Structure 1
Amino acid sequence: MKHGHRTFLAAATAAALVLSGCGSGDSDAEGGSASPGTRLAVAATTPEVADFVRTIGGSDVTVTQIIKPNVDPHDYEPTPADIQAIGAAAIVVKSGVGLEKWLDQTIESAGFKGAVVDSSQGVALREGAHEEGESEAGEHDPHIWHNPQNAKTMVTNIEKGLSAADPAHAAAFTGKLKTYSAELDRLDADNEAAFAKIPAGQRKLVTNHDAFGYYVDRYGLEFVGSVIPSLDTSAELSAKQLNDLVAKIKATGTKAVFTETSLPPKSAEAIASQAGVKVIGGEDALYGDSIGAEGTPEGTYLGAERHNTQVIVTALGG
């Protein structure tokens, strides 16, 4: 962990203890189940996971979403309010696969002793880079939700976690899981049908960073490259890598460079300009690490994924 991150977290912890009266001492903070007539308090790390918990938990849970929409999760710094929320939660739900590098120390700082639900359990993980030799040993791609079948595994894990923490509402959680799993299957089928209309030679993708590997694999796309050549967003494109990507875009006949909502578009715009292709951004930017703002059509996992497919299919098929 970076020194700056440790310093910030120490300060945040001290502030959180002052705000909370030296931490929560109720049974939920120790992992107890919801009391009769109360709702289960859940701290969920990412927008996707929080949406899953709200969908499966319904009116029987209260969800504190740690990372807000369109915030880069890779370099996230927890706040005093985050530490408070985790300390007061009955359970914590995370996306997993190392996406939340800050979470373990934050849980320790919060004094949280309850269950942590890793929604990635059982997902078949892909190696960390699209091209051989680019990933470190043991590194896996954390952007698992971009395959709806992986999302089904995630919500199944979440349902198990909620049911274990609140057995009185387990039947309700199970019923919502069945309904939502069918919606995820429908999303998957719709995506497959949309890409089936585009010739295989046109299904080429260039994005802000390497966030769409599971999506590319699921729907038979060709990943040409990314502006940030990494699963993380802290890497930078060297001059040679930039020139190589521009040359590859031209050589492969790639039609567009797609920006992402949680990342600045400037580098993507520059590469698209040099390559002589269109840049897809603004309201059409892809949801790579996030979903849309609450209350918008893209403010749910299903809405954000439908948006991504519609934008990509329109750009590549045009």
Structure 2
Amino acid sequence: MKRTPWLAGLAAAVAATAITGCSANPGNDAAATPAAPKLAVVATTPEVADFLRNIGGDAVDVTQIIKPNVDPHDYEPTPADLQAISKAKLVVKNGVGLEEWLDRTIESAGFSGTVVDSSQGVTLREGGHEHEEGEEEHAEEAGEEEHDPHIWHDPRNAKIMVQNIEKALTTADPAQASTFAGNVSAYTAELDKLDADNEAAFKAVTNRKLVTNHDAFGYYIARYDLEFVGSVIPSMDTSAELSAKQLNDLIAKIKQTGTKAIFAESSLPPKTAEAIAQQAGVKVVAGEDALFGDSLGEPGSPEGTYLGAERHNTQVIVEALAG
């Protein structure tokens, strides 16, 4: 990876901030009865942060590293990120290699708490639907087994993720165990409803062929019995590009299979998808209807939560395929 020198600079900035903070006068608040401190938790992705807020409630103070519509695959942490990590008791990540930048960042921040991998126990998909030329061979030579990190797109996996989060929060703050247990029970019921609603929505859909901006919906496709035709970016991350042959093959496959649309994603520019759609003679679903592949919507919007973003995705896909 290419990102090592800047971490030293960020670590120095964090140290300088800490020294400055130590010299501040705390004031005379001895007469006030301090409220129970909230558990300081850092979440890497919008999805994980939303899970934490739902399970932790008022007992946790969540700092979300990756903001909405920011690509998590190639993220570069900021001094504020290191500062938050250095003060946290827990860092909760998606896992499955999504946050390649995290280990180096934690080391530079001097983090001494617990790292929670919310993917533990999830059955992983091996690889993506398609790969860049030579990508599989490179992974094999490196002794790595590539798995799809977009696990949250199957609500059953989201249930496992929130259970992992509940266990970690309970271990860190046992006094709040009953609160966390009640929250995870209520939220699990919402995840079950999301899953059932998604299944019901696809029952009447006969054309189930899907072309997306990148290969981020493998768990969703498998869960709801859709057919993956291809992706504009031929990879599970967003760094790859279509070769001329892959571009022509994708256009031909779209035409041959009767695919109706290409779905853009909120965190990726739609230009290439629009160009392919024009050549293939199909519509591109973009703008406000873009899917949430790697991100959630803006805070405060209906799509700013995991449940809202997934409902949005299902509604957009069903309407486009049925239409």
Partners in 2 of 1:293 and 1:253 — Cα distance? 34
CA displacement 1:183-215 (0-9 Å, x = unmatched): 00000000000011101xx10110110000000
The alignment partner of 1:154 has SS state of: helix
Partners in 1 of 2:13 and 2:59 — Cα distance? 30
Partners in 2 of 1:247 and 1:7 — Cα distance? 44
**Aligned 1:1-318 pairs, distance under 5 A:** 1-2=1-2, 5-21=3-19, 37-131=36-130, 135=136, 136-137=139-140, 138-199=145-206, 202-318=207-323
The alignment partner of 1:21 has SS state of: helix
Conservation of the 8 A alpha-carbon contact between 1:23 and 1:84? no
Partners in 2 of 1:45 and 1:203 — Cα distance? 32
Partners in 1 of 2:240 and 2:62 — Cα distance? 32
1:289 is displaced (CA, Å) by: 0.2
Conservation of the 8 A alpha-carbon contact between 2:155 and 2:191? yes
TM normalised by structure 2 equals 0.92
CA displacement 1:259-305 (0-9 Å, x = unmatched): 00001111011100110000000000000000001000000000000
Partners in 1 of 2:19 and 2:269 — Cα distance? 39
Conservation of the 8 A alpha-carbon contact between 1:39 and 1:59? yes
Partners in 1 of 2:51 and 2:294 — Cα distance? 15
Conservation of the 8 A alpha-carbon contact between 2:154 and 2:219? yes
The alignment partner of 2:304 has SS state of: coil
CA displacement 1:69-101 (0-9 Å, x = unmatched): 000000000000000000000110000000000
Partners in 2 of 1:13 and 1:228 — Cα distance? 34
> Compared with structure 1, are the counterparts of its residues 244 and 23 closer, same or farther at alpha carbon in structure 2 (3 Å cutoff)?
farther
1:8 is displaced (CA, Å) by: 2.1
1:45 is displaced (CA, Å) by: 0.3
Partners in 1 of 2:215 and 2:42 — Cα distance? 27
Partners in 1 of 2:300 and 2:256 — Cα distance? 41
The alignment partner of 1:86 has SS state of: helix
Look up the equivalent residue of 2:275 and give its one-letter code: A
1:15 is displaced (CA, Å) by: 1.6
Conservation of the 8 A alpha-carbon contact between 1:23 and 1:110? no
Q: Extract structure 1 runs of 4+ deviating beyond 4 A.
A: 131-134
Unaligned runs of 5+ in 2: 23-33
Partners in 1 of 2:306 and 2:230 — Cα distance? 25
Compute the RMSD of aligned alpha carbons. Answer: 1.5
1:7 is displaced (CA, Å) by: 2.0
Unaligned runs of 5+ in 1: 25-34
The alignment partner of 1:125 has SS state of: coil
1:21 is displaced (CA, Å) by: 2.1
Partners in 1 of 2:221 and 2:135 — Cα distance? 17
Conservation of the 8 A alpha-carbon contact between 1:17 and 1:23? no
Look up the equivalent residue of 1:251 and give its one-letter code: Q
Larger radius of gyration: 2
